[in-house]
Structures are given as C-alpha cells and as structure tokens.
C-alpha cells in the first residue's frame, strides 16, 4: 500500500514494478516527469490521487499492466 505520500519534483513520483493487488491512494504526485508509473503490474487499485503538472503524464501504465482500477 502506498498511501498519503507527497511525491513531487522527481523523474517518477510513485513507481511500482512487478506488483499486483497493491493500493495507491490519497497521494499527491505533482510536478514530476510522470506522477504515478506502473510497469508489469496488474490488479492494482489507484484511487483518490492528485496528479497534476507532470511533464509526461499523470498516470502511466506500461508493459503488461492489466486489469488495474483507476478511480477519482
């Protein structure tokens, strides 16, 4: 679980790789290259996060990141 983190001014604000059934919630990921980045990660829940002013995207899913839920 990644919860209540302020991840700002980095290449990747929050990064998960090769994970499943994780929860990413109530975080702030602003002014990064990418706010929240998942690679090879499936069946995760991403909810109630603030991702703004990121250069390359707010939430980025890559390489076999399937069946994730993104809400609010």
pLDDT recorded at residue 1: 96
Alpha-carbon distances of 53 from 35, 40, 41, 46, rounded to whole Å: 9, 25, 24, 18
Looking at residue 34, its pLDDT comes to: 98
Mean pLDDT, contiguous 10-residue spans, the chain (72 residues): 97 97 98 98 98 96 96 94
pLDDT of residue 23: 98
């Amino acid at each position: 679980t990644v919860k209540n983190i302020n991840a700002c001014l980095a290449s990747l604000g929050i990064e998960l790789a090769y994970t499943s059934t994780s929860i990413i919630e109530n975080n702030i990921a602003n002014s990064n290259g990418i706010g929240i980045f998942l690679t090879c990660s499936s069946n995760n829940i991403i909810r109630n996060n603030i991702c703004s002013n990121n250069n390359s995207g707010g939430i980025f899913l890559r390489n076999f990141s399937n069946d994730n839920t993104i809400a609010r």
